[in-house]
Chain A
């Protein structure tokens, strides 16, 4: 019986406990003793007691049994020697496991007279749509059968214990229903734990991601010196020569970092003024009708996938700018089809709705009293905006801009298509350059050894990107706080 059945049964027990609990608690309402918790709290408590411990047990049990099974398989395999058919233990375990899974597809009759060799077995499995690695060995077949038997046994035991736990929990909760039982407090506590658990998961995931990146980054720096990475001005990982002795390649971060910041800067130069001004227009000038049309339209822009912007840049804008510049100089174009300028421009367009919708919320949040105060002194609308509203909204706007900058720095698709993948180091915005994210993708796609510096450099790049955005956030917080101290 698969685990899902047990889980379903436990949930059914929970629902039954809920209903019974509710009825039992309802009997007490209006009695002589004032009830501590309302009936639905008793009901929820019964549900939780019937399901949570049992489900937790099932999770622990299945983790424990898979560890046990692994030992169990290993014990039955012949010891590893230099001339074992499968050179690697973990590979061997993997083969047995997939064989065991494959065997589950066969019907009982076939399983009873299972052939002894893999050569005979394979066509049967293929007929059932199971494709296995050809180096599966004959001696693995009995092991796999035994594995399946053991795991069935474990699962049944676990499921039954889970059911007993569930019934016991339901019984305890339902029997415990008294007028003064503090079911409400119990439920609240569980809710608290659940919320706490969720936020812990978020934090732990972040920590996990950072740690795993750090770990791989250390690997990378074992083969490439820190200074070469951080101060190197040439990016040339030399894929072709990977693996050959002294050809580590050059991993200079500078061109990528410069490209990232340059493109982000151009994008912000486009997005921040336009976005901010359209936010001011929407918040201060537009009538309600205009606003109800313009705002959703602007936000529609934010919903366009970035790859579409990239295509627009590659197919339309890039060639147009090139031809335009060619026409201007009368022959040679000074804007290349793929350039920082094109990428920044398109990315800026993509970011306009981000800036404007964030700033719009911030500007509308400035109290009406500020506006009235200024207008009442005979200030014009634009003076009011410039001297009162924007300063009051500044911390929020700085936050919005930095948030936008993070997005610009993390953007990949537009850059690949609009600025290219060539890691140049140039100040001319009309030439091609590339960014950190693009190179991360570049290094990780393709058929590469995972341990080579060519691949590991992606993690170093990732960490660098992480640190850059982290610093930006810290700066943003600092600015916001300084401003607050001054005015509140």
Chain B
């Protein structure tokens, strides 16, 4: 099975080499492995993230999607037992280089979590949190402008513009998740990582968030973990399939969903396992 995976990997890497000329590789993973203590959770993952595209990570539960995603902005550093090997680059710079400031990295590679996690502060304060920390606004007016434009980009402004000083925890689940997206946007990141952002939302809120992701890709590079095949098919341009810690195959979403190379991808997409 290992051999087969490597074959597929070569193909996948080959595919990325033949990227269209207008496609820029934003982030790149090479031989990425992750250990939790003694246990290895991720094996030799090679994956390119293209600029201004949505890359979907799919695969059965426990296969390492979140683990890989968390490598991209070094959120795994916050887990004591986690250790990352291999190389991940952002615009060609090694993310795990000791010279890299992790705080700066996370400002460039933002994250939205599975469960909406607004801070117990007002809507305004939630969005203003990142800009304040990074000193992005000189004046109160600047800050107001950032907050407003972030909320607008997250398609939340119209719903909350009369109550931005009310607690963010008082919003509905879908609104909270869009607030978390606005919060991430406010820092002006280049890449946004989303770990199952719609798993706690109803279909209407999900549709809104998907619509939002589609718009956001104009300005940002997006990586999204999802368990919904429809969602992956709807929002993403590239799809990567993980299984038991290995990257099984990666390619254009259209091809992955219609004519995958690997049997496991086929089975997973058609719901035969996972």
Which residues of A are in contact with B by a Cβ distance under 8 Å?
287-288, 367, 369-380, 383, 387-388, 391-392, 486-488
Would you call B110 an interface residue if the criterion is a C-beta within 8 Å of the partner chain's C-beta atoms?
Answer: yes
Within 8 A of A (CB), among B65-106: 73, 75, 78, 80, 103-106
CB distance from A375 to the nearest CB of B (A): 6
Q: List the A side residues contacting B203 at CB < 8 Å.
A: none
Given A369-B113, A369-B115, are A374 and B121 also a contact pair (CB < 8 Å)?
A: no
* Cα distance, A488 to B184, chains bound together (Å): 22
* Cα distance, A383 to B130, chains bound together (Å): 11
Which residues of B are in contact with A by a Cβ distance under 8 Å?
73, 75, 78, 80, 103-108, 110-111, 113, 115, 117-121, 129-130, 133-134, 167, 169-170, 180, 183-184, 187
Pairs A–B under 8 Å by Cβ, sample size 24: A369-B113, A370-B119, A372-B111, A372-B117, A373-B117, A374-B129, A376-B184, A377-B183, A377-B187, A378-B107, A378-B108, A378-B110, A378-B134, A379-B103, A379-B130, A379-B133, A387-B133, A388-B119, A391-B121, A392-B119, A487-B120, A487-B121, A488-B167, A488-B169
On whether the beta carbons of A369 and B117 are closer than 8 Å, the reply is yes
On whether the beta carbons of B129 and A387 are closer than 8 Å, the reply is yes
Q: Kindly report which residue of chain A lies nearest to residue B134, judged by CB atoms.
A: A378
Given A387-B129, A488-B169, are A372 and B107 also a contact pair (CB < 8 Å)?
A: no
On whether the beta carbons of A287 and B80 are closer than 8 Å, the reply is yes
CB distance from A456 to the nearest CB of B (A): 50
Given A372-B75, A378-B187, are A392 and B129 also a contact pair (CB < 8 Å)?
A: no
On whether the beta carbons of A378 and B130 are closer than 8 Å, the reply is yes
Identify B106's interface contact among A370, A371, A375, A487, CB under 8 A.
A375
CB distance from B69 to the nearest CB of A (A): 11
On whether the beta carbons of A373 and B113 are closer than 8 Å, the reply is yes
On whether the beta carbons of A372 and B113 are closer than 8 Å, the reply is yes
Q: List the A side residues contacting B118 at CB < 8 Å.
A: 373
* Cα distance, A429 to B104, chains bound together (Å): 48
* Cα distance, A367 to B169, chains bound together (Å): 14
On whether the beta carbons of B120 and A376 are closer than 8 Å, the reply is no
On whether the beta carbons of A486 and B167 are closer than 8 Å, the reply is yes
* Cα distance, A287 to B184, chains bound together (Å): 29
On whether the beta carbons of B73 and A377 are closer than 8 Å, the reply is no
* Cα distance, A374 to B80, chains bound together (Å): 18
On whether the beta carbons of A370 and B121 are closer than 8 Å, the reply is no
* Cα distance, A484 to B104, chains bound together (Å): 33
On whether the beta carbons of B129 and A376 are closer than 8 Å, the reply is no
* Cα distance, A370 to B183, chains bound together (Å): 13
Q: List the B side residues contacting A375 at CB < 8 Å.
A: 75, 78, 106
* Cα distance, A288 to B134, chains bound together (Å): 31
Q: List the B side residues contacting A376 at CB < 8 Å.
A: 73, 75, 106, 110-111, 113, 184
Q: List the A side residues contacting B120 at CB < 8 Å.
A: 370, 391-392, 487-488
CB distance from B178 to the nearest CB of A (A): 14
CB distance from A388 to the nearest CB of B (A): 5
Q: List the A side residues contacting B183 at CB < 8 Å.
A: 373, 377
On whether the beta carbons of A377 and B130 are closer than 8 Å, the reply is yes
Q: List the A side residues contacting B110 at CB < 8 Å.
A: 376-378
Identify B103's interface contact among A370, A378, A488, CB under 8 A.
A378
* Cα distance, A372 to B118, chains bound together (Å): 11
Q: List the B side residues contacting A367 at CB < 8 Å.
A: 117
On whether the beta carbons of B117 and A377 are closer than 8 Å, the reply is no
* Cα distance, A380 to B110, chains bound together (Å): 14
CB distance from B185 to the nearest CB of A (A): 11
* Cα distance, A388 to B73, chains bound together (Å): 20
- A367-B117, A374-B129, A392-B120 known; 12 new pairs, CB 8 Å cut-off, are A373-B183, A375-B106, A376-B113, A377-B106, A378-B105, A378-B108, A379-B103, A387-B129, A387-B133, A487-B167, A487-B169, A488-B120
Q: Kindly report which residue of chain A lies nearest to residue B77, judged by CB atoms.
A: A375
Q: List the B side residues contacting A369 at CB < 8 Å.
A: 113, 115, 117
Q: List the A side residues contacting B115 at CB < 8 Å.
A: 369
CB distance from B187 to the nearest CB of A (A): 6
Q: List the B side residues contacting A288 at CB < 8 Å.
A: 80
Q: List the A side residues contacting B130 at CB < 8 Å.
A: 377-379
Q: List the A side residues contacting B119 at CB < 8 Å.
A: 370, 373-374, 388, 392
* Cα distance, A383 to B169, chains bound together (Å): 21
Q: List the B side residues contacting A377 at CB < 8 Å.
A: 106-107, 110-111, 129-130, 133, 183-184, 187
* Cα distance, A462 to B261, chains bound together (Å): 83
CB distance from B143 to the nearest CB of A (A): 15
CB distance from A78 to the nearest CB of B (A): 79
Q: Kindly report which residue of chain B lies nearest to residue A383, judged by CB atoms.
A: B133
Q: List the B side residues contacting A378 at CB < 8 Å.
A: 103-108, 110, 130, 133-134, 187
List the 8 shortest-distance A-B pairs measured between CB atoms, nearest first.
Answer: A378-B107, A376-B111, A369-B117, A378-B106, A487-B120, A377-B130, A373-B117, A378-B103
Interface centre among A379, A383, A488, by most B CB within 10 Å? A379
Q: List the B side residues contacting A387 at CB < 8 Å.
A: 129, 133
* Cα distance, A374 to B107, chains bound together (Å): 11
Q: List the A side residues contacting B184 at CB < 8 Å.
A: 376-377
CB distance from B108 to the nearest CB of A (A): 8
Q: Kindly report which residue of chain A lies nearest to residue B131, judged by CB atoms.
A: A377
CB distance from A365 to the nearest CB of B (A): 13
* Cα distance, A371 to B79, chains bound together (Å): 12
